[in-house]
């Protein structure tokens, strides 16, 4: 059955959506004059209703705190400035001064109000922003912004840190003869776990909607996408997911019926989950992507706890790296979630092959499971058989390359 949602081929992200412009320029935020794109801009002439989901870390970067305040005022957003190379986190009072200066500089160049602009930053923690370069970058980005596909690609590139490739995904659907578009870009790599660690995601649409409605839709979509992935279990100071709607399509979500709301939510979930998958697949030096499914737990929160214990266990992750069908480590990790697993009811599968059935090892399937765990993508299912709740997440192995890559900045 067709959902009526069309995936846009060769997406350009932000610029796939009517009324949005984008830019990505180089201003040497890393203070190495290598011409790397490091300043992105998203702009809409029409003011956008905007929803944001932010890190729950106690230690929030200046742009996160100021961004939350701006969204709370709900005056509508025209622009988002995004820089990579410096997170402006743990930068004390000066960090706030610098972030405000970025907001003001953006306002001046774009000729908009200070309530109508957001900043998102990612990169190294604890270093002051190189403000001369930053200001140069803002000016260049405002100058460069356009609705061309190339600008969308440049913007998607400018927000990257240790990612190896840009990540874009766009869809469209028809509503009573009018086209509605959603385009998204994301940066991820290391430190991905619940609550969207070191992740920036920007999804824009030409839907018309209140910020409140956008927020409830975004919260739903984030739960089953960006919050259901884990690479190393860390969570950052800067995580931000934004959803902007500029209304250019003429389709009004608040006035629409249930069918329209469902379709928009479906489209938003599709964009979010595809972007989340791209993050996992581009985790730092990973060699395996694992779809982990916990079934028939007593409560959904129990299933989630088990999933996170398994997904974040170093011994489990290293065994995946080694292509070792080490089901014992899976069960051990599931057990220390301490949600009342009964080992004599537990079934464990690699893909659809049983390796552990109701407390007993199915040794005859070991070779098959060894073959599965040596693939780049596979799934693991733990069926607890003690309830009816489930949780699914995407995770990765832990490689020697990850340790080498992260041993210093």
Report the distance separating Cα 70 and Cα 80, nearest Å.
12
Q: Which of residues 233-292 bind a copy of itself (CB under 8 A)?
A: 233-237
Q: What are phi and psi of 70, to 5 degrees?
A: -60, -45
Q: Which of residues 170-199 bind a copy of itself (CB under 8 A)?
A: 190-191, 195, 197
Report the distance separating Cα 7 and Cα 271, nearest Å.
9
Which residues, at least 6 apart from 394, have a Cβ–Cβ distance to it below 8 Å?
228, 229, 230, 276, 277, 280, 289, 290, 291, 292
Q: Which residue has the tokens 């993508």?
A: 377
Report the distance separating Cα 274 and Cα 171, nearest Å.
11
Report the distance separating Cα 193 and Cα 279, nearest Å.
11
Q: Is 161 a catalytic residue?
A: no
Q: Which of residues 45-104 bind a copy of itself (CB under 8 A)?
A: 56-60, 89-93
Q: What is the DSSP letter of 8?
A: P
Q: Is 360 in the site for a copy of itself (CB under 8 A)?
A: yes
CA neighbor of 230 nearest in space, from 183, 279, 171, 293 = 279
Q: Are strands 389-396 and 289-297 parallel, antiparallel or unpaired?
A: antiparallel
Contact pick of 113, 262, 359, 376 for a copy of itself (by CB under 8 A): 359
The number of residues that bind a copy of itself (CB under 8 A) is 66
Minimum distance from residue 277 beta carbon to a copy of itself (Å): 21
Alpha-helical runs (H) found in 282-312? 300-312
Taking the least distance from each CB to a copy of itself, the nearer of 324 and 371 is 324
Taking the least distance from each CB to a copy of itself, the nearer of 140 and 334 is 334
Report the distance separating Cα 77 and Cα 311, nearest Å.
37
Report the distance separating Cα 237 and Cα 197, nearest Å.
8
Report the distance separating Cα 117 and Cα 69, nearest Å.
11
Minimum distance from residue 406 beta carbon to a copy of itself (Å): 4
Q: Is 352 in the site for a copy of itself (CB under 8 A)?
A: no
Minimum distance from residue 186 beta carbon to a copy of itself (Å): 20
Taking the least distance from each CB to a copy of itself, the nearer of 33 and 59 is 59
Q: Is 387 in the site for a copy of itself (CB under 8 A)?
A: no
Minimum distance from residue 376 beta carbon to a copy of itself (Å): 16
Taking the least distance from each CB to a copy of itself, the nearer of 95 and 137 is 95
Catalytic position from the list 198, 240, 381, 395? 198
Q: What is the DSSP letter of 14?
A: G
Q: Which of residues 316-335 bind a copy of itself (CB under 8 A)?
A: 318-319, 321-324, 326-329, 331-335
Q: Is 114 in the site for a copy of itself (CB under 8 A)?
A: no
* Chain residues that interact with a copy of itself, rule: CB under 8 A: 56-60, 89-93, 124-127, 190-191, 195, 197, 232-237, 312-315, 318-319, 321-324, 326-329, 331-344, 356, 359-361, 398-400, 402-404, 406-409
- Residues forming the active site: 198
């Amino acid at each position: 059955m067709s959902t009526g949602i069309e995936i846009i081929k060769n997406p350009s992200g932000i610029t796939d959506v009517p009324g949005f412009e984008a830019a990505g320029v180089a201003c040497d935020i890393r203070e190495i004059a290598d011409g790397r794109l490091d300043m992105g801009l998203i702009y809409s002439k029409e003011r956008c209703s905007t929803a944001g989901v932010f890190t729950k870390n106690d230690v929030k970067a200046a742009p996160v705190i100021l961004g939350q305040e701006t969204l709370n005022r709900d005056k509508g957003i025209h622009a988002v400035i995004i820089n990579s190379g410096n997170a402006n986190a743990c930068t004390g009072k000066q960090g706030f001064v610098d972030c405000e200066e970025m907001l003001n500089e953006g306002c001046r160049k774009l000729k908009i109000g200070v309530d109508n602009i957001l900043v998102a930053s990612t990169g190294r923690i604890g270093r002051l922003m190189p403000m001369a370069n930053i200001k140069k970058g803002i000016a260049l980005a405002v100058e460069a912004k356009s609705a061309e596909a190339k600008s969308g690609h440049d913007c998607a590139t400018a927000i990257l840190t240790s990612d190896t490739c840009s990540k874009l995904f766009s869809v469209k659907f028809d509503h009573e003869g009018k086209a509605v578009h959603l385009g998204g870009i994301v940066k991820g790599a290391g430190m991905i776990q619940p609550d969207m660690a070191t992740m920036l995601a920007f999804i824009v649409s030409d839907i018309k909607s209140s910020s409140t409605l956008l927020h409830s839709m975004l919260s739903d979509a984030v739960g089953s996408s960006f919050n259901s992935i884990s690479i190393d279990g860390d969570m950052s100071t800067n995580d931000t997911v934004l959803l902007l709607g500029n209304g250019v399509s003429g389709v009004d979500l608040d006035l629409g019926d249930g069918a329209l709301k469902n379709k928009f939510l479906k489209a938003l979930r599709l964009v979010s989950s595809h972007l989340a998958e791209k993050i996992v697949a581009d985790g730092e030096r990973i060699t395996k992507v694992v779809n982990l499914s916990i079934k028939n737990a007593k409560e959904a929160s129990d299933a989630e706890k088990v999933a996170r214990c398994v997904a974040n266990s170093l011994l489990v992750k290293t065994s995946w790296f080694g292509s070792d069908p080490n089901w014992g480590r899976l069960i051990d990790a599931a057990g220390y979630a301490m949600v009342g697993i009964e080992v004599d009811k537990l079934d464990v599968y690699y893909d659809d092959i049983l390796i552990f059935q109701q407390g007993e090892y199915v040794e005859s399937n070991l070779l098959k499971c060894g073959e599965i765990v040596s693939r780049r993508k596979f799934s693991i299912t733990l069926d607890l058989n003690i309830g009816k709740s489930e949780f699914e997440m995407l995770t990765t192995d832990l490689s020697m390359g990850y340790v080498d890559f992260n041993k210093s900045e």
